[in-house]
Amino acid sequence: MSQMILTAPCHFGLESVLKKEITDLGYDVSRVEDGRVSFTGDEEAICLSNIHLRTAERILIEVGRFNAYTFDELFEKTKALSWEDYIPKDGR
């Protein structure tokens, strides 16, 4: 995998601390919002972030982005994402 958009949720008020932790690891922060910080990174960034970020609750991978106004639209657009890039065919 190449560069991905990663999001690290955190407790409200800790966004600036989390931003510094991410930049100290050498990653570029793209967006800071209430309760979350987004940055770009690869598979190694996911591993290192999970180990070293003290104020992050977890690391989320942005698999896709779209608008959905009904549950059916949400289902169809989610189904259309390229899940095979993340989960192998025989994945369990």
Paired sense of beta strands 29-33 and 36-41, if any? antiparallel
CATH number of the domain at 4-85, please? 3.30.2130.30
Banded pLDDT at 90 (limits 50, 70, 90) = confident
Ramachandran quadrant class, 7 (left: phi over 0; alpha: psi -120 to 50; beta: rest)? beta
Q: What is the token pair recorded at 42?
A: 């690869």
Neighbouring C-beta atoms of residue 6, cutoff 10 Å: 22
The answer to whether the beta carbons of residues 9 and 58 sit under 8 Å apart is yes
Residue 28: exposure state from Cβ atoms within 10 A (0-12, 13-18, ≥19)? exposed
Break the chain into its structural domains and give their ranges. 4-85
pLDDT tens string 20-69: 999 999 999 999 999 999 999 999 999 999 999 999 999 999 999 999 99
Query: Per-residue pLDDT for 89 more than 90?
Result: no
